[in-house]
Chains A and B, each alone.
Chain A
Amino acid sequence: MAEVKEMTRKLEEIHKKIKAEIPWEPVGPTPMPEIPDLRNWDMRLLKTYAPFYAPFCDLCCFCTYGKCDLTETRRGACGIDIATQQARWVLLSCLMGCSAHAAHGGHILEFLIERYGPDKKIDLGGSINIEAPHIRTVVGLKPETLGDLVIAIEYVFKEITHLLDSTAMGQEGSYLDYESKALHAGMLDHVGMEVADIAQIVGFNYPTSVADTPLIDLGWAAVDKSKPVILFVGHNPATSTVVIDYLRENNLYDQVEVCGVCCTALETSRYSDRAKVVGPFSRQLFFIRSGIADVIMTDEQCIRTDMPIEASKAGSSLIATLDKAMYGLEDASEMDTEDIVRQMVEDKKHFAILDPRKAAEVAAKVAIVIAPQRRKEWLTEGEAKELATKCNVCGMCEQVCPNLFNIGAGIAEVAKGNFDLIREQFNLCVGCGKCEAECPRKIPIFKIMQIAASKESWKVRAGRGPIMDTEIRTVGAPITLGTIPGVVAIVGCSNFPDIRDIAEMVDEFAKRKYIVVVSGCSAMVAGMWKDADGKTVYEKYPPAFDMGGVVNVGSCVANSHITGAAIKIANIFAALPLRGNYEVMADYVLNRVGAVGVAWGAYSQKAASIATGCNRLGIPVILGPHSSKYRRLYLSRKEEDDWRVMDARKREIVDTGEPSPEHLAYVCETKEKAMVMIPKLCIRKNDTPQGRAIKLNHYISLHKKYMGGGLPEDIHLFVRRDPDIPLVYKKEVRAYLQEIGWKPKEPVGLPTLIGTYPSKVSVDAVIH
């Protein structure tokens, strides 16, 4: 009895927070879900997509009982085994990622509420009514003001605490439960990201409800180094936008060049289309060492931790603008502005300045004073050759290279006056700087690589934020029927095996009329390629969320709009209520929305949590080879696994035998393999025969293109009846099916997992 009362009080509390009395939709079964609330859904997913652990370290050193060796079947002093320890790491990674975005959101909210007050209305323009699909679905709240976003972010903060608690020594003992918690953290991450980006759009007047946002100059050569240059590094635009305001107000914007690396660059270009995007994280150290930036302003996430050292080496001034990374610098937030400027100019001191107005003024003043005194020239080929002559090809640089290639060979070629290899290698380089630090001959490898760094500039489309409801109405049917073959989201960080892979993937799938969505570093890199007519993918393809479109949603936190679009399809197109109704949304997406994420260069914990959040929502993610170091994938075994679904129309469980989607988190070693996995992971049980034939057409043709002819050997698993076979391959596929004794099966009318596992949700809930 006590239990029931307690639950009721708690529920009442939740209903109060989410303003349940406002009846925009009935409140579903899981508003503000806590750890156990979606556990059954997770367990159902994990049954088919079992965690696959690749321990990155055999030990545990989390507490003073350790180090504990967990090799093979050994257990730690607390009783934990190696699989559970991996799952604990995964959860920790997801929590780091989720916290980074949530804290970013929280900070932006505080900043904007200080400026506008909590009642500032959320208005995303005439084409977006479902402003916050994640907040509506997970939290159960329809946020109308900045103050409402605080309710959502506080819920995320609270859940993070509970999840983090579970990682302490002597807590959770099941890898499956840790995975369920990681999935919870991933889901929360999308809420946190949504809070952050909605706040930014509202507070900074970013473009919204529009597809053709401006084209932004991209690349090193886009930066006018003849002017004083201010470089923003990181993810949080609170300060960068204030810097632009300051320059505008003081008529200095024409005189000062403003540019950025990583997501702050994307954010700033949403605020002012004159801001330049230098490139992804992997170009950060290169650009800093080039000395082109007079003032570097760091905020948070994906900023190098040795920034004060690097800034000093390059003769640049550094201002740390956020408490997340203060580098041990003196906090000058309360100091007199002129005094800070003087110390920075005369004593070459770096400071932390947490007051954006002050930081902006200091940055502008320092940049204007020091720029004329600094030499900013690119290295010449002659100088590079000279610097390279000391290389004795010892191979030390290759041994420390995280992308496993021999930059020393490229340096040795430069010494001979041949720059071809190093130009090629620049595409593989992730910009970590480990090679140069290791070189016994102190060869300035980074400087030499300037030769290879293209002097070209490109274009990237400014991030546009949420997908419009009007677009969802247009594409909802073709996506769920399969006639738009899929939504391919090429997202995330820049630990690429080869930077050129991204534009190639975007081009391949846009050409094939998939909807291609990009974000973050991948959005920048997508633009770093031109076709024969000199066009980047942003100029070649329309910016619409429609077949053959290439859509840049924005920075990392804008990833929430991609998953948000999937929820909107269920809500707007299929008219399923979303409020507190996560399981129904996720089930719909898993079974009916042919979307796949590609995080080809994922390196950060944020990427881990974003991907895990996609997985809970039923969106599979393909990762590049480095991501095997995340320690965990979600893989099925197509021949053995359980592919039964409920046919909600007939109310019967059907064994489809169809592995769609085949995996939830998958690593490919090569671009070629990814090109074939992408179309395969867009297949859904809901496809109509016409849609399925289109999807299989791409799967087969990409398989032939990259795998040397022939049919994919699992093609029979995806052909339900003859009309599913694409016309062009009819003969070949029929012959193969006959050879292996394939039997036709009925497509499922309304596929759902609801009804195949214990859940509060009834099958009725998935019928629209």
Chain B
Amino acid sequence: MSAVIPYHRVNVLTGIKSARLIEDAQEYADLIKKARRPLLVLGPLLLKWSLDGKLLIEYALEIAKAANIPTCATAQVRAKMAELGIKPDSFYDVVEIINALKDPNWRGVRKEGNHDLVLFFGIRSDLGEQGLSVLKHFAPHLKTMTLCKFYFPNANYSLPNFRKDEQWKAFLESLIDNLKKGE
């Protein structure tokens, strides 16, 4: 596969193992459904970014609900969730959750065993990319996936750099629909 350059150039990959770029929401949904113990890590950009006036945190929570994925609220995400009347399944900051995920014997947020697929959404891309690097190298027992509108080379599965927000919005909506179909 020819190299995809991440949107933010500070994240350009110096290495050979890079994420599979996926644009098809159906394929993303299938990967999520196939996972036995997925986890959705929610970052603070979800409180800042919106698509047509709808905050990204709402998309994230719909994804979590549609596929029954436990959530991990990082930074101040929990404040917004409290406002929305939703309790996250766990609270760790981003480096803490990654540190826990690294350990194959960690019991996971539902105490059912470590997660096999971790979705990251709303973490600033440089920190996110560094976190994904930790898992790429030191957590062979799990796969990572990103939902932000940029390409993350260090993930296992990543969205492309969406040129337009509408494309991203269409993807997220289709993903939610596809996940719901599986219920």
Q: How would residues 625 to 638 of chain A score, 1 for a CB under 8 Å from any chain B CB and 0 otherwise?
A: 11011000101010
Give the interface size class of chain A: 35 or more
Task: Determine the distance from Cα of A58 to Cα of B14 in the docked complex, in whole angstroms.
Answer: 6
When the two chains form their complex, are residues A628 and B130 in contact, meaning their CB atoms are under 8 A apart?
yes
Q: Which secondary structure dominates where chain B touches chain A?
A: helix
Q: Which residue of B lies closest to A72 (CB)?
A: B137
Q: Indicate if B51 sits at the interface (CB-CB under 8 A).
A: no
Residue B108 lies at the interface, judged by CB distance under 8 Å to chain A: no
Interface string of A53-76 (1 = CB under 8 A from B): 111111100000000010111000
Q: How distant is A196 from chain B, measured CB to nearest CB, in Å? A: 32
Which residues of chain B have C-beta atoms less than 8 A from A401's C-beta?
A: 8
B95 lies within 8 A of A666 (CB) = yes
Q: Taking the complex as formed, is B99 at the interface, i.e. its CB lies under 8 A from any CB of chain A?
A: yes
Are the C-beta atoms of A670 and B133 separated by less than 8 Å? no
A628's closest neighbor in chain B, by CB? B130
List the B residue with the shortest CB-CB distance to A677: B93
Closest chain A residue, CB of each to CB of B76: A672
Q: Is there an interface contact between A713 and B127, defined as CB atoms closer than 8 Å?
A: no
CA distance in complex: A497, B125 (Å): 13
CB atoms of A58 and B15 under 8 A apart: yes
B15 lies within 8 A of A69 (CB) = yes
Within 8 A of B (CB), among A77-93: 82-83
| Contact status A54-B8, CB under 8 Å | no
Name the residue on A nearest B90 (C-beta).
A713
* Residues of A close to B126: CB separation below 8 A: 402, 404, 625-626, 628-629
Q: Which residue of B lies closest to A714 (CB)?
A: B91
Distance from A611 Cβ to chain B, minimum over Cβ atoms (Å): 15
On whether A667 and B17 interact (CB within 8 A), knowing A72-B140, A707-B76, A709-B82, the answer reads no
Q: Are A57 and B78 in touch, CB under 8 angstroms?
A: no
Q: Does A706 contact B (CB under 8 A)?
A: yes
CB-CB under 8 A from A402, the residues of chain B are: 10, 126
Whether A55 lies near B80 (C-beta < 8 A) is: no
Q: Is A673 an interface residue (CB 8 A)?
A: yes
Mask for A350-369, Cβ within 8 A of B = 1, else 0? Answer: 00000000000000000000
Cross-chain contact B125 with A404 (CB below 8 angstroms): yes
Cα-based distance from A673 to B97 in the complex (angstroms): 14
Q: Check if A57 sits within 8 Å of B14, measured CB to CB.
A: yes
The answer, among A399, A628, A637, for a CB contact under 8 Å with B7, is: A399
Q: Does B16 interact with chain A (Cβ within 8 Å)?
A: yes
A400 at the interface (CB under 8 A from B): yes
Give the chain A neighbours of B38 by CB distance below 8 A: none
CB-CB nearest in chain B for A712: B91
Give chain B nearest CB distance to A93 CB in angstroms. Answer: 15
Q: Is the beta-carbon distance between B17 and A399 smaller than 8 angstroms?
A: no
Question: Least Cβ distance of A49 to chain B in Å?
Answer: 11
B129-140 vs A, CB cutoff 8 Å, 1 = contact: the mask equals 011011011101
The answer, yes or no, to whether A710 is at the interface (CB within 8 Å) is yes
Which chain B residues numbered 1 to 25 have a C-beta less than 8 Å away from chain A?
7-10, 13-17
- By the criterion CB–CB under 8 Å, are A670 and B76 in contact? yes
Residue in B14, B76, B81, B99 whose CB lies within 8 Å of A635 = B99
Cβ–Cβ contact A72 & B10, under 8 A? no
Note all chain B residues with C-beta closer than 8 A to A625.
124, 126-127
Contact (Cβ within 8 A) A669 B127: yes
Contact B16 A708 (CB under 8 A): no
A629 contacts across to B, CB distance below 8 A: 126, 130
Q: Complex Cα distance A83/B136, Å?
A: 12
B91 touches A72 (CB 8 A): no
**Contact A53:B95 (CB < 8 A) given known A58-B17, A71-B16:** no
> Which of B14, B80, B100, B137 contacts A637 (CB under 8 A)?
B100
Known: A55-B133, A55-B137. A708 touches B78 (CB 8 A): yes
Query: Which A residues touch B103, using CB under 8 A?
Result: 637
A668 touches B75 (CB 8 A): yes
Interface bits A587-609 vs B (CB < 8 Å: 1, else 0): 00000000000000000000000
Of A53, A72, A497, A669, which contacts B17 at CB under 8 A?
A72
| CA distance in complex: A672, B78 (Å) | 11
Asked whether A52 and B79 contact (CB < 8 A) given A72-B17, A628-B127, the answer is no
Nearest residue, chain A, Cβ from B73: A707
Considering only residues 396-432 of chain A, those with a C-beta below 8 Å from chain B are: 399-402, 404
* B52-68 vs A, Cβ < 8 Å mask (1 yes, 0 no): 00000000000000000
Residues of B close to A404: CB separation below 8 A: 8, 10, 124-126
The interface centre, meaning the residue of A57, A69, A404, A713 with most chain B CB atoms within 10 A of its CB, is: A404
Measured CA separation A635–B96 after assembly (Å): 8
Q: Please indicate the chain A residues that have their CB under 8 angstroms from the CB of B183 in the complex.
A: none
Q: Give the chain A neighbours of B16 by CB distance below 8 A.
A: 58, 69, 71
Q: How far is the CB of A732 from chain B (nearest CB, A)?
A: 15
CB distance from A639 to the nearest CB of B (A): 9
- Cβ distance A428 to chain B, nearest Cβ, rounded Å: 12
Question: Which residues from B are CB-within-8-Å of A82?
Answer: 137
Q: Chain A: which residue is nearest B10 at the CB level? A: A402
Task: Assess A706 versus B127: contact at CB under 8 Å? Given A53-B138, A54-B134, A635-B99.
Answer: no
C-alpha gap A71/B13 in the complex (Å): 12
Q: State A82–B78 Cα separation when bound (angstroms).
A: 34
In the complex, how many angstroms separate the beta carbon of B114 from the nearest chain A beta carbon? 13
CA distance in complex: A33, B171 (Å): 59
B107, closest chain A residue (CB): A639
Residue of B with least CB distance to A636: B99
With an 8 A cutoff between CB atoms, is B147 at the interface?
A: no
- B144 sits at the interface (CB 8 A): no
Alpha-carbon separation in the docked complex, A377 to B169 (Å) = 46
CA distance A53 to B99 in the complex (A): 10
The listed residue with most A CB atoms (<10 A of its CB), out of B16, B126, B130, B134, is B130
State the B residues within 8 Å of A (CB): 7-10, 13-17, 43-44, 74-76, 78-83, 91, 93-96, 98-100, 102-103, 123-127, 130-131, 133-134, 136-138, 140
Query: Can you pick out 7 interface pairs between chain A and chain B where the beta carbons lie within 8 Å of each other?
Result: A58-B133, A72-B17, A72-B136, A625-B124, A626-B126, A628-B95, A706-B76
A-B complex: 4 closest residue pairs judged by Cβ atoms: A708-B79, A58-B15, A628-B130, A672-B76
Given contacts A625-B124, A708-B82, 12 further A-B contacts (CB under 8 A): A54-B130, A58-B17, A72-B17, A72-B137, A404-B8, A628-B126, A667-B127, A669-B75, A673-B75, A708-B79, A709-B79, A709-B82
